[in-house]
């Protein structure tokens, strides 16, 4: 046998061993009787969203009341002491579902064995800034952290949980869509469908504005859409939104009966809500952002209720004429851990122009992000 044949045989045997190992691990996870704990990474965990988010996860608000969780908390060295304080409080809260907490400033340790990654770490904007103004600081974080997450899969360090066969990622830190795109580009082992960005906060804000206007319960309002970027160019669209009433399901436009308000003030209120919170609190949204992150992951993993869609920033496949290659917010339904874009909605001229404008901004942000990385 010459050296080449030997090398070939070694490669084949290693390939078979690796495949068998993955199959055994996957089958093993199905045989486990107790619900398998899910490991959730929260980056920027010492910050204000992190502080609101981790107890929600530990209490079962994200993955349901029967799903144990292990939390991996990542922050940077200057926040190490505060991060340890968060860990101490999680222990003190004695959450029955919380099976372990790793608090670390080491990105590789934080990413190891992770099933769900919620990327909050970064710098928030201040009063008077646009979200893209924090671009240069934040995109470089996501390029670096993409490598650690890439290795989680490529280096075979991911546990295989029954709930999720492969790591899923939610990008919260701003500019969220573009950070998610950068993470996708620099973590090629993560399938593009597994990387999303948060526009659920905007979606929930739109539901909240309609519920206030009509004086109905927010859970009776459904199927608003946030198209595009998590920025002031986003397009909150109510053309397909409905309200459940005693007299059956009605369209929001019919009930509001004020197209001028819906096409002007409603849209700008949702677009500018983040800035309004910063003005009022001198800090950006935290409890509503954390709650929206829980909603996003819960619906993605456990499924959207029948007849309901939600908004998620996902990798565009060209649906609705949105350029492919952007992370753009679409209406999606989710089932068994997979999202799909709701198809066939009628788009009028007004909507088309707004959807195109926010896509344009994302194209510009993408170019700006790359220029920051070079
Ligand atoms: N997509 C959305 O709907 C929303 C996004 N945001 C964004 O979320 C991000 C976090 O917001 P807050 O929690 O209010 O900010 P914060 O400043 O309170 O916390 C951010 C944390 O990230 C940490 N951090 C910085 N660099 C890091 C790195 N390389 N690795 C890990 N951690 C790192 C900081 O030390 C800090 O503890 C901001 O970018 C903010 O603009 C905020 C609200 C809504
Ligand atoms: O506005 C900000 O900078 C924080 C944020 O993304 C939001 O509240 O939607």
Task: Write out 75-94 in H/E/C secondary structure.
Answer: CCHHHHHHHHHHHHHHHHCC
Q: How far apart are CA 232 and CA 343, in angstroms?
A: 25
In the 3-class helix/strand/coil scheme, how is 178-213 assigned residue by residue? HHHHHHHHHCCCCCHHHEEECCHHHHHHHHHHHHHH
Q: How far apart are CA 103 and CA 58, in angstroms?
A: 14
* Tokens matching residue 283: 């800090």
CA 174 to centroid of ligand 1, rounded, Å:
8
Tokens of residue 258, six digits: 């004020």
Tokens of 84: 């340890």
374 is catalytic: no
Strand order in the sheet with 168-171: 98-104, 69-74, 38-43, 116-119, 168-171, 195-197, 310-315, 327-335, 338-341
Our answer on whether the CB atom of 141 is closer than 6 Å to any ligand 1 atom is yes
Atom in ligand 2 nearest the alpha carbon of residue 176:
6
Two tokens at 122? 């970064």
For the record, the structure tokens of 269 come out as 């209120």
Residue 201 Cβ contacting ligand 2 at under 6 Å: yes
- The answer to whether the beta carbons of residues 121 and 161 sit under 8 Å apart is no
Sign of dihedral through CA atoms 20, 21, 24, 27? negative
Closest atom of ligand 1 relative to the 107 alpha carbon: 30
First to last CA, the chain: 49
117 lines ligand 1 (CB under 6 A): no
Q: How many CA atoms lie within 13 A of 340 on its CB side?
A: 5
Q: What element of type H or E holds 9?
A: helix 3-31
Contacts 24+ apart (CB under 8 A), 364-370: 365/132, 365/135, 365/175, 365/177, 365/178, 365/229, 366/178, 366/181, 366/325, 366/326, 368/132, 368/135, 368/178, 369/135, 369/139, 369/175, 369/178, 369/181, 369/182
Q: Ligand 2 in contact with 271 (CB < 6 A)?
A: no
What is the structure's pLDDT at 83? 98
pLDDT, averaged in runs of 10, over the chain (374 residues):
82 84 73 76 98 98 96 98 98 98 96 94 87 85 90 62 78 97 94 97 98 98 98 98 96 98 98 97 97 98 96 98 98 96 98 98 95 85
Residue 357 vs residues 203, 229, 232, 364: alpha-carbon distances, Å: 19, 10, 11, 11
Centre of ligand 2 from the C-alpha of residue 285, in Å:
6
Please name which ligand lies nearest the alpha carbon of 52.
1
Separation CA 301–CA 294 (nearest Å): 11
Query: What pLDDT does 131 receive?
Result: 81
Strand pairing category for 242-245 and 248-251 = antiparallel
CB 287 within 8 A of CB 49: no
Tokens of 70: 């292990």
C-alpha span between 216 and 179 (Å, rounded): 36
Q: Are the beta carbons of 243 and 216 closer than 8 angstroms?
A: yes
CA of 275 from ligand 2 middle (Å) equals 7
The residue from 72, 150, 203, 230 that is catalytic is 230
DSSP label at residue 324: T
Determine whether the shortest distance from the Cβ of 148 to ligand 1 is under 6 A. Answer: no
Residue ID of nearest Cα to ligand 2 atom 9: 274
User: How far is ligand 2, taken at its centre, from the CA of residue 13, in Å?
Assistant: 51
- State ipTM: 0.99
Report the alpha-carbon distance of residue 119 to residue 373 in Å, rounded. Answer: 19
- The 10 Å CB-count burial string (b at 16+, else e) for 64-98 is eeebbbbbbbbbeeebeeebeebbeebeeeebebb
Residue 162 has a pLDDT of 56
- Report pLDDT for 303: 97
d(C-alpha 23, C-alpha 18), whole Å? 9
Has 106 been labeled as part of a binding site?
no
């Amino acid at each position: 046998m010459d050296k080449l044949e030997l090398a070939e045989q070694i490669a084949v045997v290693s390939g078979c061993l690796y495949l068998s190992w993955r199959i055994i691990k996957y089958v093993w996870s199905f045989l486990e009787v107790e619900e398998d704990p899910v490991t959730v990474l929260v980056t920027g965990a010492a910050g204000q969203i992190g502080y609101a988010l981790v107890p929600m996860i530990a209490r079962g608000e994200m993955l349901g009341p029967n799903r144990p969780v292990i939390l991996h908390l990542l922050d940077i060295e200057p926040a190490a002491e505060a991060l340890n304080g968060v860990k101490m409080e999680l222990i003190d809260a004695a959450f029955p579902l919380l099976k372990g907490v790793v608090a670390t400033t080491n990105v590789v340790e934080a990413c190891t064995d992770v099933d769900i990654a919620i990327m909050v770490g970064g710098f928030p904007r201040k009063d008077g800034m646009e979200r893209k103004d924090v671009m240069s600081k934040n995109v470089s974080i996501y390029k670096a952290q993409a490598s650690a997450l890439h290795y989680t899969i490529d280096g075979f360090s991911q546990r295989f949980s029954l709930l999720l066969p492969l790591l899923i990622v939610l990008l919260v830190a701003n500019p969220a869509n573009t950070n998610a795109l950068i993470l996708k580009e620099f973590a090629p082992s993560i399938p593009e469908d597994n990387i999303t960005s948060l526009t659920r906060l905007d979606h929930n804000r739109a539901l909240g504005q309609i519920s206030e206007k009509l004086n109905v319960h927010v859970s009776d309002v459904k199927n608003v859409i946030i198209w595009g970027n998590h920025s002031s160019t986003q397009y909150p669209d109510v053309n397909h939104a409905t309200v459940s009433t005693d007299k059956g399901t009605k369209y929001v436009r019919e009930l509001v009966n004020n197209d001028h308000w819906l096409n002007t003030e409603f849209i700008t209120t949702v677009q500018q809500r983040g800035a309004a919170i910063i003005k009022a609190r001198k800090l950006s949204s935290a409890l509503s952002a954390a709650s929206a992150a829980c909603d996003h992951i819960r619906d993605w993993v456990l499924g959207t209720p029948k007849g309901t869609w939600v908004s998620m920033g996902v990798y565009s496949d060209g649906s609705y004429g949105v350029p492919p290659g952007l992370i753009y917010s679409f209406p999606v339904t989710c089932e068994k851990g997979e999202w799909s874009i709701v198809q066939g909605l009628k788009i009028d001229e007004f909507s088309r122009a707004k959807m195109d404008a926010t896509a344009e901004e994302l194209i510009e942000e993408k170019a700006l992000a790359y220029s920051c990385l070079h």
